[in-house]
Amino acid sequence: MIKKVLVANRGEIAVRVMRSCREMGILTVAVFSDADRKSMHVRYADEAYHIGPSPSVQSYLNIEKIIEVAKKSGADAIHPGYGFLSENERFAQRCQDEGIIFIGPSPYAISAMGDKITARKHMLKAGVPVVPGTEDKVTSDEEAIKIIQDIGVPVMIKASAGGGGKGMRLVRREDEIIPALRAARSEAATAFGDDAVYIEKYIDSPHHIEFQILADRHGHTIHLFERECSVQRRHQKVIEETPSPAITSEKQRRKMGEAAVRLMKAAGYINAGTVEFIMDPVGNFYFIEVNKRIQVEHPITEMVTGIDIVEEQLRIAYGEPMRYRQKDVKPKGWAMECRINAENPDRGFMPAPGRITFYYPPSAKDVRVDSHIYTGYEVPPDYDSLIAKLIVKGEDRQECIRRMRQALSEFIVEGIPTTTDFCQEVLGHVAFVRGTYNTSFVEDILGY
């Protein structure tokens, strides 16, 4: 089995990965920037190494420095977490070249599924429905105008590389095409170093539903059922739940799960990944993208299935056959996750870094908190504003909502603004309680 894992990440996901490693008797190595010298993941690891200044391009995105630390510390594997280098083909290849186990998919799979245009072609080949749109990168303004006129507005312009809502622009009128195209290209170039974009027909009022996949090197690919991710703000997920209240029949659930598995098998995908779909108001579903890593929202799947996804990642990466088959996965209950961000909702969700003067997380049956903060911790301005994930489980959806609202009321962070009250507002709205919300809920219904 793997003996020592370097976690090439920070914050709550670094702590989360290290926790599973500890339970498996695996030693851990942390890396940290100037801003993270006092971060919890540095304290939690067996060893910790400084890798550079606060800007991520000089630290957490510095491939050669991370490889250097892995070799120096004797780590035989690297877990990339999510974000940063988790979907970087070159990083996965460097690990492979150095004889270090990359706990994720192969460089080929990252490349094939990382470019959304290439991924769309894989979907079509696998018989997975995709949203009508371009099959190649858009190369000029004139081409974009013609394509959009042929498809018809509204359309979504999307970055071919990356994810997380970056490089996406909605076009509802033809006079918005050129400004939206240029804005999407500029943002994509800044975020991913690639300004390539493509165009899809915009599906109005959809649900965003994803299926968690596990696949090993022995021909076994399974799904761990779905997560509903439609509570979003500017294409960033805010609250997730499982199962999805929008999937009202087991036939539909089975059809989507089988499509996700079929796709990953066709791509030769290994390790953990997520297939994302949008579903229109009448139940038609279409492929969006593959996330080639563990997801922020993976804990809700763990809560209802009892499967430690990080542990399975480690075992699969080492070459072991998966311990589960599809028939073994039987979700029980309902789970939700609220992302607690250091942001000020009253000021347009502006990031709110600063010192936490008091922190007290809730503790109760079926309540889980994944976090890296503590009283006295200084939230840096350099990275994502996520400071904690609050996860709860209930016997059914109603109990889950009640338990989440209680846990939110007991979640205390003083010194900086957070999104806890915003999450309470979402959970208290009649559309959320009824499960009738969709991806436009936060903007159109709550008015944020």
Each residue's pLDDT tens digit, 38-47: 999 999 999 9
Cα 231 from Cα 445, distance rounded (Å): 11
Active-site annotation, residues: 293
Reported as a pLDDT band with limits 50, 70 and 90, residue 141 is: confident
Structure tokens at 56: 């991520």
Alpha-helical (H) ranges within 267-396 are 298-305, 309-318
Vertex 360, ends 356 and 363: CA angle to 5°? 150
* % of residues, the chain, pLDDT over 90: 79
Q: Is the pLDDT of residue 162 over 70?
A: no
Alpha-helical (H) ranges within 153-249 are 177-192
Beta strands at 236-242 and 271-279: parallel, antiparallel or unpaired: unpaired
Q: What are phi and psi of 153, to 5 degrees?
A: -75, 155
| Look-up of token digits 């499967």 | 307
Instruction: Report the DSSP beta bridge partners of residue 157.
Output: 169, 199
pLDDT at 84: 95
Average pLDDT (344-371) is: 96
Identity of the amino acid at 68: E
CA quadruple 280, 303, 423, 406: dihedral sign = positive
| Look-up of token digits 């603004």 | 417
The 3-state DSSP class for residue 249 equals: coil
Give pLDDT tens digits for 291-312: 999 999 999 999 999 999 999 9
Cα 54 from Cα 377, distance rounded (Å): 16
Q: Which of 429, 430, 412, 428 is nearest to 420 (CA)?
A: 412
Cβ atoms of 53 and 71 closer than 8 Å? no
Could you give the C-alpha distances from 225 to 173, 212, 440, in angstroms and in order? 37, 6, 24
Whole-prediction pTM: 0.91
Average pLDDT (240-249) is: 96
